[in-house]
Amino acid sequence: MPRITKLDTILFPVEERPVFVAIQTKAGQKYLRVPSRKAIVNEINGRVLGVVGKEYRLVTNREALDLAYECCRMVFPEHKAGEWRVSTVDAPYSAGHCFIDMTHNSASLDFRDVDPESRPDAYGPFIRVTNSYNGMRALRFDIGFYRKICENGLILPESVIRFKFNHLQREIGKAIKLEIMQEKLTKMRRSFGENMKALREYPIDRSEFEPLMRAVLMIRKPNHAKSKAWEVEKDWNALQRHIKYKCDLYATELGENAYAVFNAITDFASHPPDNRCVYRDRHGLQRLAGAWLANFSRVCCDTDFDLRKYIEEILKNNGKSTDANSSNYGRST
């Protein structure tokens, strides 16, 4: 299914319209208005983007984009507003929701409060705004990082920093106000550098790259009906070759360590292949990568950490070991 990747394509005008239900009476068909619901409609083509409750607070994609620029200014006040740009747009063909990434065009993010040995090289920040017209996704602003030379990125876990508003009048009101938690922001910068240092120092044998990558991104071979077995097997084999290629690429470039696996993971998450065995979109995969970074960089430093047990626990718990708050994964018993 094709996706929308151009900014102008998602900045179409929208409007709210009443919802009616058709009922059959003796006199013929009759339409009654549903007072508790309203439709969000694309004004250009008349397509219904979503049917939501009466309390739903419509935020247009253009309004969300303006808020993203404001968010960039507040989170990184040391950088000028004009230094930020829209780098990526991602939305399903239905345009019911969208993701817009704002990246900074400087050489690197300011990590002056991080120890020089722990500073990540050539990494920059981005802010992702998520918006929807169907009420399925809340308006939110996530902070992430991407590697400058390849634009591979991740979304940091919710426990670090996130901005979120529900599409409800009583929670958003007439004006949307952003609040920055400066203590968490400082912690975010420091911990990201420390996490990168931990990954570079942790050795991982090349044979463990693919199992770890599949476990982190929750890539499983699907079980389809026999009539589709051949197609599924073909896609699964193609996906395994793709994963192996990424692992070979970063093992050669960065060595056999967790940092190389991390780059293979973020590469896949940022550029997911069109394959029926990949169920998550780019946003979901990058969130998994960010959660894994926060978790793995902490537990891998334990003296009793066991990588194979760690992978087994992820598979057993359906990916829950990537939760940054997990503490027992990979420990020998």
Average pLDDT score, the chain: 83
C-alpha–C-alpha distance, residues 322 and 130, integer Å: 22
The proportion of the chain whose per-residue pLDDT surpasses 70, expressed as a percent, equals: 82
Is the pLDDT at 118 greater than 60? The verdict is no
Which residues have a Cβ under 8 Å from the Cβ of 54 and sit 6 or more positions away?
35, 36, 37, 38
pTM, two decimals, is: 0.81
Q: Read off the tokens for 217.
A: 């991104």
pLDDT, tens digit, 9 for 90 and up, residues 173-225: 556 777 777 777 777 777 887 888 899 999 999 999 999 999 999 998 887 65
Cα atoms in the 13 Å half-sphere on the side-chain side of 95 = 23
pLDDT, tens digit, 9 for 90 and up, residues 3-48: 899 999 999 999 999 999 999 888 888 899 999 999 999 999 999 9
Which residues have a Cβ under 8 Å from the Cβ of 186 and sit 6 or more positions away?
113
C-alpha–C-alpha distance, residues 323 and 216, integer Å: 10
Is the pLDDT at 123 greater than 80? The verdict is no
Q: What is the mean pLDDT of residues 134-155?
A: 83
Q: What is the mean pLDDT of residues 67-79?
A: 82
Q: Read off the tokens for 307.
A: 């990588």
Inter-residue contact 142 to 154 (CB < 8 Å): no
Q: What is the mean pLDDT of residues 228-244?
A: 91
Cα atoms in the 13 Å half-sphere on the side-chain side of 216 = 32
Q: What is the mean pLDDT of residues 57-78?
A: 87
pLDDT, tens digit, 9 for 90 and up, residues 27-37: 888 899 999 99
